Structure 1
Amino acid sequence: MAQESVKSSSGNTPASVPSTMAAVLLTGHGGVNKLVYRQDVPTPSPAHGEVLVRITATAKNNTDRKAREGLYPTKGKADTTSFAIGGEATLTFPRIQGADIAGHVVAVGAGVDTARIGERGLLDFNLYADTRRDINLTPDYYGHGADGGYAEYVALPSEQFHHIDNPDLGDAELAAMGMCSYQTALHMLTTARIQAGERVLVTGASGGVGTALIQLCRIIGAIPYALSRQEKAKALLELGAEAVLYRDDMDGFADQVRALTGGAPFDAVMDLIGGGMTDQFIDSMIFDMKRRTTYPRLSIAGASGGNVSEIMWTRIYLYQVQIFGVSHGTRKEADQLIAWIRSGQLKPVLHAAFKLSELHRAEEYFINRDSHYLGKIVIVPDSQWQQHGAPYALQELT
């Protein structure tokens, strides 16, 4: 690659970086063939208020696949469309995906202190519509409405790239604690007003949001119960789950809950599955309303089991079930998560790392992940692989 100094917009030349970089470009809606690895993509320059980050790891999220395949319909069930909560689709092609970015500041734009150069950080992945700290009504994110982390460099808002210097955390582990999963999880809990001592069912417990929910419940004093597969039970219990219910054994689900809780219903359900299981999740909260002290709450941030659920509305309004749809989170919640990461209260659940040039393989592994999958996978630029990726490379089972 040709080399040149990338100047900040203030005129400083604090670091020499390549004029072009390796990146994976999403070229349209479709399969993994729409992801094209190139090594001649222009390196971005930091604008006013931005930092230029040399990327060392980016966590993979299910939203990458859903955006690529156009699986965000809000009207027709079979629409092929991208995330468009702000009124119009902001996903344009080509786009560099990847929301949960960890890396090191190598240059700054005007208005940013040059003392930031060299800092390691983690991105708050949101493209906020305004400066409000406690509400985010039209969420969008890096890797969708702006280029993200499946590359060697990215320009980001300085205020959203948070310095994390914990020496016990590798960069890949830091990326695995990215905001896309953890902020979504925290927003599920805060929106549903979860309190200490409440019993909370976490569905889809082995994924990024699920493992985050289990940890966050314990931090705030709630009691998480996991729904997953039997072979993942030991790891989920070690992570903090009070008990594990099995997704492939849902017969008499409410009775199973009674047996685990001493007859008490769940106070709330954090649902990432949806589909035909939704009714059973509601059952687990309403089977003995006399034992409740709060309204049943269903917080929804995913639909891995199906995008359409059939529910009798009489069950919702007669039992006063409160339903919350959750997409992303707020600046205030991001700040809280960063504080917990810095203090060591949150721990990474890193499954494996893949090279950027092997993103097709990572996508296929993610889509077809088996019963041993737990937590997050991260994507590491080939140029950073030996230091930041190789120690976490996928260990194939034999």
Structure 2
Amino acid sequence: MTIPSKMNAMILTGHGDLDKYEWRTDWPVPTPAADQVLVKVGACGMNNTDVNTRAGWYSKAVTGATDTATEETPDGDDPAWGGAPITFPRIQGADVCGEIVAVGAKVDPARIGERIITDNWLRDSDDLQNKNKTGYYGSELDGGYAQYTVLPSRNALAVHSDLSDAELATFSCSYSTAEGMLERAQVTASDTVLVPGASGGVGGALVQLAKHRGARVIALASPAKHAEVSALGADRVLPRTPDNLSADLKKETITVLADVVGGPFWSTLVDVLERGGRLTTSGAIAGPMVDLDLRTLYLRDLTFTGSTVIDLAVMPNLIRYIEAGDIRPSLAATYPLADLKDAQSAFIAKKHTGNIVVLP
């Protein structure tokens, strides 16, 4: 195929509100380095990292929920996920499904034509296990909010599936985040997992993947979204913030809390964990500042684990689940890439149940 020299792309020009995005129709198509591949983007999913990075929410100077981040001023020293500044202009978008159309000098040309999804964690090729030497695609390297993108060959994972590009673009971030959390908490079939925010992309993935492990799943979501969350496999679905969560869970033994919500309800969630229970967390969309009674932590023998950089086995496992049909995409809506601002507004407002995907 003929590869053009220019492309459409949504460019992030700095930290701030949605006006920091700039639509360009003349952006240079990137050239793959020796160990990279050039991918023609078929679809690209949206995730919280896009919103948080754009707003500078990761800065410790920001204390509010993700939908209010731009009301505070991020510290220039730590506005991105890794605690260090990123460079602008930047093309965001980590969850790409597309086709390899060119390869660098060190990549097998036989890969041209492969359909791929992305492993978003950029690792040191000589030190793959070192979490201190990681970057994130769409943050430290330009991502998929464009017609073409480059990424390391090892991060472009071949996938064989009848699912559409938009459906496959729901997996890379939401499902890898969820699987990383469940792996960190060592969830098994003997567990009962409580999932707040179950109507979101990661929350819905947590429901499916915990069920895939054989666990019992109790989900929290707004009543209007209960049917859709139940369809993902949740054993029970309760209101997002029940008036009396302990009473609602009286006959349940919650061994794992898998949370990406945080915020003012967090301490209530922690209080229902069984003695010896585990919290695994990978987000705080309702706010990062929470109340914790340390006596709850130590007297109840609880274990808290944070989960960001996923283990190496997570994405290959997800590819197997996808190809076997063990998990299904939670695609809520698609938007043209040129309408990314509208898509992100809908994402922040939680207008849809599941993942939002943009199409170039």
TM-score (normalised: structure 1): 0.84
Alignment partners' CA distance in 2, 1:237 and 1:84: 32
Structure 2 Cα separation of the partners of residues 76 and 220 of structure 1: 36
Which of residues 267, 274, 293 in structure 1 aligns to 2:262? Answer: 274
1:174 paired residue number: 168
Q: What's the CA shift string for 1:268-289, capped at 9, x where partnerless?
A: 1001111221111112114xx4
State how far apart, in whole Å, the 1-side matches of 2:178 and 2:187 are: 12
Query: Could you tell me which residue of structure 2 aligns to residue 112 of structure 1?
Result: 107
5+ residue gaps, structure 1, are 1-14, 290-294, 382-398
CA shift in 2, pair 1:233/1:154, >3 Å: same
Q: SS at the partner of 1:315? A: helix
Counterparts of 1:108 and 1:141 in 2: how far apart (Å)?
21
Residue 199 and residue 138 in structure 1: after superposition, are their counterparts in 2 closer, same or farther (change >3 A)?
farther
Contact 1:51/1:107 (<8 A) preserved: yes
Amino acid at match of 2:90: R
One-letter identity of the residue aligned with 1:71 = W
| C-alpha distance in structure 2 between counterparts of 1:238 and 1:76, whole Å | 36
* Closer/same/farther in 2, CA of residues 184 and 139 from structure 1, 3 Å limit: farther
> Where do 5+ consecutive residues of structure 2 fail to align?
64-71
Task: Answer whether contact 1:353 1:378 (CA < 8 A) is retained.
Answer: yes
Aligned mates of 1:303, 1:71 — CA distance in 2: 10
TM-score by length of 2: 0.92
1:157 maps to which residue? 152
The alpha carbon displacement at 1:138 in A equals: 5.2
User: What corresponds to 2:281 in structure 1?
Assistant: 300
Q: 1:210 — aligned with what? A: 203
Tell me if structure 2 keeps the 8 A contact 1:60–1:379: yes
Q: How far apart, CA to CA, are the structure 1 residues paired with 2:128 and 2:237?
A: 35
Rounded to whole Å, the distance in 1 between the matches of 2:37 and 2:332 is 29
Map of 2:322 onto structure 1: 341
User: Aligned partners of 1:204, 1:310: CA distance in 2, in Å?
Assistant: 19
Is it true that 1:88 corresponds to 2:84 in the alignment? yes
Go from structure 1 to structure 2 and tell me whether the alpha carbon gap of 1:349 and 1:231 turns closer, same or farther (over 3 Å shift). same
- Check the 8 A contact 1:133/1:332 in 2, yes or no: no
Q: Which amino acid aligns with 2:253?
A: P
Q: CA deviation at 1:133?
A: 5.6
Are residues 84 and 221 of structure 1, via their aligned partners in 2, closer, same or farther at CA, if it must alter by over 3 Å? closer
Question: Shift of the alpha carbon at 1:139?
Answer: 4.2
SS of structure 1 residue aligned to 2:217: strand
CA RMSD across the alignment: 1.7
Of residues 156-165 and 142-151 in structure 1, the stretch that sits farther from structure 2 once superposed is 156-165
> Any residues of structure 2 matched to 1:208-287 within 5 Å, and which?
208-248=201-241, 250-258=242-250, 263-286=251-274
Query: Is structure 2 residue 8 aligned with structure 1 residue 34?
Result: no
Q: How many residues align?
A: 349
Preserved contact between residue 271 and residue 296 of structure 2 (Cα < 8 Å):
no
CA contact (8 A) 1:101 1:175 kept: yes
Whole-Å Cα distance in 2 between the matches of residues 79 and 318 of structure 1?
38
Distance 1:131 1:274 in 2: 36
Q: CA separation of 1:176/1:41 partners in 2, compared to 1, >3 Å: closer, same or farther?
A: same
**Higher Cα radius of gyration:** 1
Aligned-pair CA distance for 1:299 = 0.7
